[in-house]
Amino acid sequence: MDNAVQDYIDAIDPAYRPLFDRLHHLVLEVYPDAAVVLSYKMPTYEVGRRRLHIGVWRHGVSLYGWGQDRVTDFTARHPQLRTSKGTIQMRPADAAAIPDDELRDLIRAALAT
């Protein structure tokens, strides 16, 4: 992980850092060889040609990196999450109700080649 990514992580609001850390660790658990770089000013996990961006904003954490069709089951099970084309927004309270196994599946949907 390069210094720019670490600087981004170090600057995350403490209210959102546990959620970011949870997602970060799950990505690296599922894809231990993923490259972690800064792209579009946010941490980006690269596996082959696939990318998953995880950004922290004032609402919580947003995940970017897949077509809507790759996550329809996930978004159907979690209608409380705000979604748009290729984006899922999670507040810490919303994410607390989502088991790690479902987040791992979401990560695979983004990064599976």
44-70 pLDDT, tens digit each: 999 999 999 999 998 899 999 876 566
| Bridge partners, residue 87, by sequence | 64, 84
Domain extent listing, the chain? 3-111
CB atoms within 10 A of CB 42: 17
CB 64 within 8 A of CB 87: yes
> Can you spell out the DSSP letters for 75-88?
HHH-TTSEEETTEE
Q: How many H-runs (helices) and E-runs (strands) does the chain carry?
A: 5, 6
pLDDT of amino acid 68: 57
Instruction: For domain 3-111, give the fold.
Output: Aspartate Aminotransferase, domain 1 (3.90.1150)
pLDDT of amino acid 101: 95
pLDDT, mean of residues 22-48: 96
What pLDDT band is residue 7 in, cutting at 50, 70 and 90?
very high
Tens of pLDDT along 69-89?
A: 666 788 888 888 888 777 899
In whole angstroms, give the CA distance from residue 74 to residue 70.
9
The three-state DSSP-derived secondary structure of 49-61 is CEEEEEEEECCEE
